[in-house]
Structure 1
Amino acid sequence: MTFGHAVVHWYQQMFPIFLPFIKTDLGLSEIQVGGLMTAKQGASGLLTLPSGFAADAFNTHKGLILGCALAMGGCAYLVASIAPTYFWILMFLVMLGAASALWHPSSVSTLSLQFADRRGTALALHGVGASVGDSVGPLCIGALLLMVGWKDLAQWHMIPALILALLMWKTVRQYSLAGPGGLTRRSYFAGVKGVFARPTIFMVMIASSFVGMARLSVTTFLPLYLAEEMGYGPFWLGFHWALLYAMGMFSQPLMGILSDRFSRKTVLLPCFAIMGFLYLLLPAPDGGFLLALIIGALGLFFYGTGNIATAAVLDVASEQVQGTTQSFMTLFQQVVTLPAPMLAGYIVSQFGYSTVFYYSSALLFSAATVWTFIQIPKRAEMSNGSGNL
């Protein structure tokens, strides 16, 4: 499961490295660039609830769902490589967003149910796969772009995607993944009702939405900032982008263990405050080692905090609706964060790239403020995280 997650994120993170080339080839404006990320988020949001329901209702078919997610990522880049207009690039982003929506509910719900008493650690280790794909992928793609064009490279990724999709389907199909038995319409909707009845869940989702707005803004415009303001070529662009994720390979397991041992709040509140300060510092250096150090420090928290927030929500959700709960959390964040890239694009067009990092900093401090009012029990006081609270 962790290897598949690495592959999914390898394909997701190819796009930021390709973005400067796409922008130049099609002559896109900053607002149009923001629209690309909005299309990706919108597609992911529309599919997230159906994917969550499928993860809960068709437990024995999760191999097929996960295989389709991998295959769709490869197909998306084939579309991108032959796209003649902005519309077809939008279609590429829609497919890429759909691939992410298919993968996460099935994989997260499986791990959440199998490791309920170590949910934070399990989801964190799953997140390590994402960190590998997010960090190694951009570095390799940046190096390959020194030798081949981005369109050729995008086409080449179709073949491994299909091969890996077949392997994932056949491998997962061999195992009867443990899950809740006797799922009925009544038990399903009772579980969903329990999610809506807990204000703590919505507070976690609101805070996570602030973090997501900042993350989307940074992932949209940091590559352009590095390419246009710092003058970095493909390799150094890939190197710095990899730094944003590489440190998560080391920090995520530690965050998961600490959140299981103490509480989710113990981990998330200081992480969000630190990220707010780092965003403020991001535009200060004129490149070089200091910029790389700040981006690497951001990488300690950039992705892993989302897994701990997800664990906090799944802790109090019924085991009958783990996939749906993860999907609902994702959908909530998608709706709230959908306009964020376009708003960031407007900010950049009016005030320059640096201001988007100040905007992101304000969002992180807002998330930290929300978490000061969230009460999450210590893991020792919870009934194995199965929602019996």
Structure 2
Amino acid sequence: MKFRLTPFWILCLTGGVAIFSSTMAKNPALPLYVKSLGISDPALGFIAASSTIVGILASLPAGAISDAIGRRRVVLFAAVIFATAPFLYLFVHNAGTLVLVRVYHGLATAILGPVALAIVADTYAKGRGERMGWYSSATLVGRFLAPFVGGLLIFGNDFHLVYLADGVAGVITLLLAIRLPKDSTGNARVADTLRKNWRKYVKEVSFVFRHKGILATSGVEAAQYFGYGCLETFLPVYLNEKLGFAAWQIGLLFTAQIVVTAFTKPIMGRLSDKYGRIRTIMAGLILGGAIIMLILTTSSYLLMLILIATSGLGLAIVTSSTSALVADLAREEGRGSALGIMSGIMDIGQSSGPILTGILIGAFSFTLAFTTAGLVLIVMSIIFWLVMRSSRQQTETTGVQDK
């Protein structure tokens, strides 16, 4: 009997390989590459943030355009970038060029994230949180393999092998994306479709920006990735410079974090489907914030491994619920726009995390910077609860209640 992948699992593979490629380009390669060029910590924060800054501008249009012209076309556009961007790192010799490459590479992730989740949300109404969890876990498999593989491919200050491997993974992403089935837009011209439907999607975007629940949930995503950006960008530098850990040891730590996230995310998504999303999100934020505040208190590799793995559980708890909650709250015809707005707001958090952390490290210390990042998550859990409680009537009218 011939084995055939379903469209859902083709999408999962596409996302997994794409994120494997993009993550290997930055973790742990990017901070170490930047340091090999003699660039300062504050500048490293801006370089790390450059790829996510583009997401602030690109995610909303990507989601809205996918509402209008179909999801597959937008995913294919992102896949072309995944297939070409990694090879450009081979020609980088200064900070300015590296920023341009990071912006181009970041555009692919900014597009793929909300559009792929919109495909899952469109396909599954029942068990949406669990299915989104499975897709996210597929991307996390790529994310947790990337630091370890990337660490093995770095030899001193030679980064050629790691970026060649990135390029191969990007080409595979494109080949997988081509296999995704065509959607309801068929072969209609993009320009004609946009001209016909643009008023409707402006209305949907306006609805999302007025929805307190969607905006609060998007703020949670921003806070979560603010903390994650802090860890991802500066913990490798701290471990290498302060504690003397090798690149492969650092890569293994981040692999452990994402392994925990990947294996627990579908479970957390199923729990949020059954018991409600709001309390789940709050618990994950508090756990993640506490870990970030504690992680620099030890020099033990084993204890560091336990702490960073536990931070992966906090990440799973939060992100298994946020996308599903936004999809629940949004109207069907504007779901891509809602998820795009969430992704854009998330990128504000992820890009500002390295920038603020770099400034605080340069002016004060690693300890103050990481404590601040942890507090952001804990304070956001309180704000989220207050906003969702005050907007409960709006939430209930859309059919979403936290049990």
Aligned to 2:37: 26
Contact 2:56-2:347 within 8 A present in 1 as well:
yes
- Which of residues 288, 297, 321 in structure 1 aligns to 2:310? 297
Matches within 5 A, 1:170-249: 171-173=179-181, 184-249=197-262
Greater alpha carbon shift after TM alignment, 135-144 vs 251-260: 135-144
Distance 1:58 1:212, change over 3 A: same
Aligned to 1:142: 151
Q: Quick one: distance in 1 between partners of 2:130 and 2:379?
A: 26
Deviation (angstroms), 1:185: 4.2
Aligned to 1:46: 57
Contact 2:53-2:347 within 8 A present in 1 as well:
yes
Deviation (angstroms), 1:382: 8.3
Aligned to 1:70: 79
Deviation (angstroms), 1:87: 0.9
Contact 2:21-2:169 within 8 A present in 1 as well:
no
Give the TM-score taking structure 1 as reference length.
0.89
The question of 1:10 aligning with 2:20 is answered: yes
Matches within 5 A, 1:1-389: 1-14=11-24, 15-59=26-70, 62-145=71-154, 149-169=158-178, 171-173=179-181, 184-303=197-316, 305-335=318-348, 338-373=351-386, 374-375=388-389
Q: Quick one: distance in 1 between partners of 2:156 and 2:13?
A: 27
- Counterpart residue type for residue 92 of structure 2: A
Distance 1:333 1:288, change over 3 A: closer
The total of aligned residue pairs comes to 380
Greater alpha carbon shift after TM alignment, 211-220 vs 281-290: 211-220
Give the TM-score taking structure 2 as reference length.
0.86
Q: Identity over the aligned pairs, expressed in percent?
A: 20
Q: Secondary structure at the match of 2:296?
A: coil
Contact 2:292-2:374 within 8 A present in 1 as well:
yes
Deviation (angstroms), 1:340: 3.0
Contact 1:117-1:384 within 8 A present in 2 as well:
no
Q: Quick one: distance in 1 between partners of 2:322 and 2:212?
A: 15
Greater alpha carbon shift after TM alignment, 319-328 vs 18-27: 18-27
Q: Quick one: distance in 1 between partners of 2:164 and 2:149?
A: 16
- Counterpart residue type for residue 40 of structure 1: S
Deviation (angstroms), 1:43: 1.4
Deviations 1:202-258 (A, max 9, x none): 222233322222222221111111211221112111101111211012210111011
Greater alpha carbon shift after TM alignment, 221-230 vs 137-146: 137-146
Distance 1:307 1:96, change over 3 A: farther
Show structure 2 runs of 5+ residues with no match: 1-10, 187-192
Contact 2:36-2:157 within 8 A present in 1 as well:
no
Distance 1:125 1:350, change over 3 A: same
Greater alpha carbon shift after TM alignment, 129-138 vs 16-25: 16-25
Greater alpha carbon shift after TM alignment, 189-198 vs 248-257: 189-198
Contact 1:146-1:234 within 8 A present in 2 as well:
no
Show structure 1 runs of 5+ residues with no match: none
